[in-house]
Structure 1
Amino acid sequence: MATVSFRMDDALKKQADELFNDLGMNLTTAFTIFVKQAVREQGIPFEISREVPNSETLEAIREVEEMKKNPSFGKSYTDIDKMMEEMLS
């Protein structure tokens, strides 16, 4: 048996532990299943793609681009407290 160790964000590990425990296995078993499937398929056993922004995010990106081109578009602030006050009210 070989020992493999790797680093993972604490929050992600906790989420993975909870998920795999609900599925009746531990993290080691889950990774072993992943690696066996990868070897069997000779590749990653699922599609890997970039996260595509949703329509709301795309609209926000377009809005920022417009604000860069035309500084009078939108509202600007010189006082962070006033900005936060307006945002939260």
Structure 2
Amino acid sequence: MSDTVKKKVSISIKVSSSDKKRAAELFDSLGLNLSTAVNIFIKKSISEGGLPFDVKDPFYSETNQTELNKRFKEVESYRDVHSHQLLDNEN
């Protein structure tokens, strides 16, 4: 192995103290420390050629989109839609 592969370097990341505590507790229950867990994440990302999990916006989840489509149909058919009278702002 070359020296660049063997040599360890430090990295610095910023996370909330509560996230760090929760992650440390989780990894400790798995027999890992934070450094080992982060190294596993990095190695897995390299082997996968990207993040080793999907990163998605929950707004676009199938459940949310189904609910939104249902509500759009209700509005289009005027079911469960009540008219409201707007009040003028008095200055």
Which bin holds the TM-score, normalised by the shorter protein? 0.5 to 0.7
> Partner residue of 2:68?
61
Structure 1 residue aligned with 2:54: 48
* Percent of residue pairs identical: 23
SS across alignment from 2:39: helix
Instruction: Name the stretch that deviates more: 43-52 or 18-27.
Output: 43-52
Q: C-alpha offsets along residues 52-75 of structure 1, whole Å, 9 cap, x if unaligned?
A: 6244x33321122224434x3224
Q: Runs (4+) of structure 1 moved beyond 6 Å?
A: none
User: How many pairs does the alignment contain?
Assistant: 75
**Equivalent residues of 2:74, 2:80 under 8 A apart:** yes
How far apart, CA to CA, are the structure 1 residues paired with 2:83 and 2:12? 49
Change (3 A) 1:12 1:74: farther
The worse-fitting range, judged by mean Cα deviation, of 59-68 and 21-30 is 59-68
**Residue from 49, 73, 77 that aligns with 2:79:** 73
What TM-score comes out, normalization by structure 2 length?
0.53
8 Å contact from structure 2 (residues 75, 81) kept in 1? no
Q: TM-score, normalised by structure 1?
A: 0.54
- Measured after TM superposition, the shift of residue 25 of structure 1 is 1.2
Please tell me whether Structure 1 or Structure 2 has the larger radius of gyration of its CA atoms: 2
Distance in 1 of aligned mates of 2:16 and 2:82: 37
Whether contact under 8 Å (2:44, 2:52) holds in the other structure is no
1: CA distance, partners of 2:71 / 2:14:
36
Structure 2 Cα separation of the partners of residues 61 and 42 of structure 1: 34
Aligned residue number for residue 29 of structure 2: 22
